[in-house]
Chains A and B, each alone.
Chain A
Amino acid sequence: MPRPSSSSNMRLTRRALVGGSVALAVFGRGGARAPARAADGPIVWMSNQRHDQEVKEELFAAYQKQTGIAVDLQIYGDEYPDQLKLAFTSGQPPDIYRMVSPAEEVAAGWPEPLDDYLAAAPGLKETFLLGSFVPNRGIWGGRTYGLPMYAPTMRYYYNRALFERAGLDPNAPPATFSAFRQAAKQITDALRGEGAYGLILGDKYTWVWWMNGECFGNAAGAYAFDWRQGRYAYTSEGLKEALRLTIAMQKDGSLFPGYHALTDDDARQQFALGRAGIVVGGSWNIGVFVDEMKTTQPWDVAELPRPDGGALGRVQQTIGDRYTITAASPRKETAWRVLQYIYSPDVMRTMHERGMGVMAVAAANSGRSQIPGVAKVAPTPGDLVIPPEPELPTLSADPFTVMQQVVDEGGATMDRLLGDLDRAYNDALDQAVARGDLRREDFTISDFDPLTWQPRNG
């Protein structure tokens, strides 16, 4: 879908006559620096990371004993972005928060630049994975904002018992697309009578196609964004190959039935109950299976399969969950001390070894843990911290809903649907570039090779 024309660049004078002033009055201080909380009381930490809440509470309790500094964890669910916006617009911003849309938040003046703090803490910046601080990811307008906490890797989780019962070797999980398809089919053929299927996904909310479509395409050398050209690449052959794999599995009858009516949580629950042989997910799933679902099934972890002809790319490892000090906080120094504590390698290692996931502090990912699977989600040469992608306004058609439709229609409309998607995103990108919102050269790496490219900090 094309975005609004960029031709009208007239400034506020005319807008004020029509509705801007009214909107200004009603939406009021949206984005303006709000008066902060009182300077006493605990440091307020706002996030939507529920899976690590318990561990963080323990860590912060220990920190309070050591230093007397209390941290009030305020954890929200899906409504987090709206709650965050409300906190800022109502003059009650937290002291530390998880960034959601960093570029826009920087433009709105919400986060505090961390350059001076990092300069006063030599060596801290270097503990993070390469690629954590590059323009448009960690650096905006030449200044550094936020510290990344997690760097999840993508894996598939499989049920060893179902594998064995279907005649598959649980110690040799499928590594290629065709072996993956065959394994799912074998499990379904053997165990359908008991209500178990080869692969489950819950795409009631279509973002799961990021894991089940786009990430599979990465191994085939396809990424949503082609950094060589500085353009979106939804028509790439690798993505089509990945979608054809799912279409084939659907035709085999290997997909858990009724998956459009299931959420990702439902799918993971069914896997945890032993009703599916395989589910795709990120490194965060360990905590979900162990702590939340407390599964008794013998599950294991493997890297996503590669195309039969060999890998043409590496699977994306995202660097996210960026926490920052609020610019309006009256206790920035104290907040920074809290951040230094939680990001110290020892604390990060504790979180990793307790199954919270892959941390953005490189040295924390020891792989040592009593919790199964932790070693297998640690980054490998098959994982790639991809370069940043542009941030665009929400479009009407999103890639994951389109991927779902492609699979639903058996691939018959794949070229047309992916072509439309590609056009919509590139049109929006062209308009953003024309408006001056983005610079294409910031997202262009002419020698990008997904098998050899290495990230570096900017």
Chain B
Amino acid sequence: MIGQARVATGRRCGRAARLRTLVPIYLMVLPTVVLFGVFVAFPLAAVVGAAMLDWNGIVPVRDARWVALANFATLVRDPVWWLTVRNSLCFTGVMLLVETPLALGLALLLNAPGRAMGFFRTVAFLPAVTGAAVIGLAANFFFSPIGGPANAILVDRLGVLDAPVAFLGDRALALWTVCAVAVWHSVGFDVVILLAALQAVDPEVMAAALVDGANPWQRLRDVTLPAIWPVLAACALLTTVNSLKAFDYFAVMTGGGPGFSSTPMVMYMLRFATFGGGMGPATVPAVGYGSAVAVAIGVIAMAALLLEWGAARRFPSPD
């Protein structure tokens, strides 16, 4: 009896001790969980829920019509949606294949010692401190067919073109012009991050490579890249996320046009969330359908990130 009582008392003490340890931990975690729930999980669930409704966002949601997966079925058959997917993937591809390598190249150049480098580093970073909307407005002016500097140079100075070109108003050029502006705008941000990574490369390892007779290409491939790989992968992931949700460049520069030739996925989603988004005769918002577009964008972004993450992990670690 006494033994059983001691065991029971011991269990109670153990439980109490565990509680004393765990309760403060749970209390400390609780604000984060609540904030995550309110600002992330809840809205996400709401969007998924709204995607299954035929709802205009004006009448109370309780009066919306339940359509299950019909919005997604419509989306799969929607040719304009697939065009916007293509546009977003092209934009993301350009940012990954042009902007990230360009940033690496610039970071390597700017990693050289010398006082002048500080100036060039500042110049490289300058566009990144300006908002995308401001950059877009400036690009509108720069590429304008009416007195824009780009056309003035190409037509009047260089004589490369016979007549001004509407870079942002041409179905074949609009998307690529936006890509070019976005690359120029955001490359400085990656340069700064990669520069920091380059400066953290162990000089002794580099010195050892020099002693071993490694040429510049070998030093880049076998020492520098492995050393900065985690940072480079992080840059690529950030670029992918930002590019897939890009909206501001397109909204300011082309409005998604001409037609849908430069409409990204996010702009297409917003088309259904606002009044007159379709700009047809007397249209009302289709928030349910827009939510389905939002869910699809989330799925595509997640798939792209998983693919990229998988690819990044295959690369040998710096160790």
Contact = CB atoms under 8 A, between A and B. Distances in A.
Given A24-B61, A389-B282, A8 B70 contact: yes
A107 B58 contact: yes
B284 A18 contact: no
A258 B272 CA distance: 28
B50 A224 contact: no
Contacts, number: 223
Interface stretch (A123-131, A204-212, A284-292, A302-310): A204-212
A32 B49 CA distance: 19
A4 B289 contact: yes
Given A5-B73, A26-B43, A258-B146, A11 B66 contact: yes
Interface string A364-392: 00000000000000000000000001111
Interface in B41-82: 42-43, 45-46, 48-54, 56-68, 70-71, 73-74, 77-81
B294 to A, nearest CB: 12
A147 to B, nearest CB: 19
Contacts of A116: none
Interface in A1-59: 1-12, 14-15, 18-27, 29-32
By secondary structure, the B interface counts as: loop
A262 B78 contact: no
Nearest to A225: B281
B52 A19 contact: yes
Question: How big is chain B's contact interface, by range?
Answer: 35 or more
Contacts of B80: 1, 396-397
B54 to A, nearest CB: 5
A100 interface: yes
A425 interface: yes
A405 interface: yes
Contacts of B65: 6, 8-9, 435
B98 to A, nearest CB: 23
Interface centre among B51, B63, B281 (most CB of A within 10 A): B281
Contacts of A12: 62, 66
A404 B280 contact: no
A270 interface: yes
Given A4-B70, A8-B70, A30-B58, A260 B170 contact: yes
B283 A398 contact: yes
Interface of B: 42-43, 45-46, 48-54, 56-68, 70-71, 73-74, 77-81, 140, 143-146, 163-171, 174, 254-255, 257-260, 271-272, 274-286, 288-289
Interface of A: 1-12, 14-15, 18-27, 29-32, 81-82, 85, 100-101, 103-105, 107-108, 203-207, 224-225, 257-262, 270, 389-401, 404-405, 408, 425, 435
